[in-house]
Amino acid sequence: MDAASARTHDGHDPRLHRHQIGQPRVDDTRLTAQYRYGQPRVDACECHSGVPCQDAACGIVRGMSKRVIFVCRGNICRSPMAERIAQRFFADAGLDVEVTSAGITDEEHANPMDPRARAVLNRRGYDVRPHTAHQISAEEIRRADLVVAAEPYQVQTMVRMAPSTRNIVLLRDYDPSVTPGTPLDDPWFGDESGFETIADQIEAAMPGLVAAIRK
């Protein structure tokens, strides 16, 4: 099956593109208010004083560099765009954050960023250095302070991969202007204008994400 054919079938329940009814949105002012798909929001511990938390499921350390991973389907469009945009926002905010990205699948393994994504980032003045796609691992999820997914089904997949974690969130839940559970849709099927829309939506979520990381 070629790449285009593979991407025309998600292989997941379309009902998972929305949070369950009654699911609270991520509180973008508290990094300890973590989202887990299909479950009530779970608060991580409040012991973050610059030393590692004793709760292995928490992993957040106050006063130290944080790790944030953006995740989409293949790691060639949305997540690398979010990675480069977030790097700029975190740096401008004076935050020490290690930002990376990954895909839920390995279908784009070792591929570069989509040229349409690269062109949009370049026009907006973001970093467009070479990118190599890879699939996220359970270990990466556990080691991150925050794993930020493009779509709800990706959240569910990662919770299954690392069920003890409390660090998996949905990107657009940091944008107060949209309905909780709104996905960052895949622009791969369209033209470059769709990537401009995605960049706008990522940028709209950044102030909330910066506020959460700053806490």
Compute how many other C-beta atoms are within 10 angstroms of the C-beta atom of residue 34: 22
Going by C-alpha positions, the residue among 65, 67, 62 that lies closest to residue 50 is 62
Q: Which member of 27, 173, 175, 186 is catalytic? A: 186
Catalytic residue check, 186: yes
Residue 123: helix, strand or coil by DSSP?
helix
Q: Which member of 25, 36, 78, 118 is catalytic? A: 78
Catalytic residue check, 78: yes
Going by C-alpha positions, the residue among 78, 35, 72, 83 that lies closest to residue 180 is 35
Alpha carbons 52 and 204: distance in angstroms, whole number: 31
Alpha carbons 126 and 145: distance in angstroms, whole number: 24
Alpha carbons 32 and 174: distance in angstroms, whole number: 14
Going by C-alpha positions, the residue among 183, 138, 137 that lies closest to residue 16 is 183
Q: Which member of 36, 67, 72, 166 is catalytic? A: 72
Strand partners, 112: none
Catalytic residue check, 58: no
Which residue numbers are catalytic? 72, 78, 186
